Amino acid sequence: MNMNTKKKTAKSLSFLASLTAALLISACATQSPTTGRPVIDVAMTQAMQSKISPDAAIAMLKEGNQRFVSSSMLKRDLPGQVKTSGRDGQFPFASIVSCIDSRSEPALVFDQGIGDLFTARVAGNIVNEDILGSLEYAAKVAGSKVIIILGHSHCGAVKGACDNANLGNLTQLVAKIMPAVKATPDNHGSDRSSKNHHFVDAVAEMNVKMTVKAVTEKSVVLKEMADKGQIKIVGAMLDVETGKIDFY
């Protein structure tokens, strides 16, 4: 694919995201009597979810993060969404595996509402059999269209792995991040400890990429769906200082 084709594809995805978001707002929203702005008061439905492609799901998340960063989040009636999703069921369009870091709450940084996202959170955004099983349910049974492995800058779990931390059950968790530490070359000098934040962030990115690969290597179900184009599995990094998310 040449550069011009890539640019056209990116523009098409951006247009698709905007169109999809507009359709969702019109389908899910009522008008505020005070501001006149649309208020989303119902949750994602199965009919809406079925019309979202994996590429459109990614584009919707990108657009949501842009709203978050620019402080232009959509207005939502969250109790209203609770009522409709509780009554009619849940049909999230995306699944997010993120760290437990308090600055990386998926629904906030992607500007999504009740019933939009499945989220699995664990320090270091790693996957194990339980999380993989959860993702298989989300995609194969519940119809989620994309899996995002979301890492972030200044990650404490990654710092622990860089320093070979030893603390109760945390020892076993950081051991799962050690392959990323070993695979990451020196960055801004030879210091490979948590004191070198450039190295820490490079390890966090490597950990995301290795986790994306691990999802398809360890889940036959998800690999088959990805190979058929039914879902996409994508890595992303959140900058906790700006809120901006970069996708791989």
DSSP string of 185-246, one letter each residue: PP-SSS--STT-HHHHHHHHHHHHHHHHHHHHHH-HHHHHHHHTTS-EEEEEEE-TTT--EE
How many other CB atoms are found less than 10 A from the CB of residue 220? 10
pLDDT, mean over the chain: 91
- Asked if 145 contacts 53 with a C-beta cutoff of 8 angstroms, the reply is yes
- Asked if 187 contacts 198 with a C-beta cutoff of 8 angstroms, the reply is yes
The pLDDT of residue 42: 87
pLDDT digits (tens, 9 = 90+) for 110-153: 999 999 999 999 999 999 999 999 999 999 999 999 999 999 99
The pLDDT of residue 41: 85
Residue 77: DSSP 8-state: -
**What pLDDT band is residue 12 in, cutting at 50, 70 and 90?**
low
Query: How many angstroms separate the CA atoms of 127 and 222, rounded?
Result: 13
**What pLDDT band is residue 171 in, cutting at 50, 70 and 90?**
very high
Angle between helices 220-227 and 129-136 (to 10 degrees): 40
Buried b (16+ CB within 10 A) or exposed e, 11-44: eebeebbeebbeebeeebbeeeeeeeebbbbbbb
Comparing 40 with 183, the larger pLDDT belongs to: 183
Question: Tokens representing 109?
Answer: 């940084």
Query: How many angstroms separate the CA atoms of 74 and 94, rounded?
Result: 18
Q: With pLDDT > 90 as the criterion, what percentage of the chain qualifies?
A: 83
| pTM of this prediction exceeds 0.85 | yes
The pLDDT of residue 21: 59
Query: How many angstroms separate the CA atoms of 110 and 165, rounded?
Result: 31
Residue range 60-76: mean pLDDT, rounded:
94
Q: With pLDDT > 70 as the criterion, what percentage of the chain qualifies?
A: 85
**What pLDDT band is residue 73 in, cutting at 50, 70 and 90?**
very high
pLDDT digits (tens, 9 = 90+) for 177-230: 999 999 999 999 999 999 999 999 999 999 999 999 999 999 999 999 999 999
Contacts of 160-164 with CB under 8 Å at 24 or more apart are 160/194, 161/124, 161/203, 162/192, 162/193, 162/194, 162/199, 162/200, 162/203, 163/193, 163/194
The pLDDT of residue 17: 60
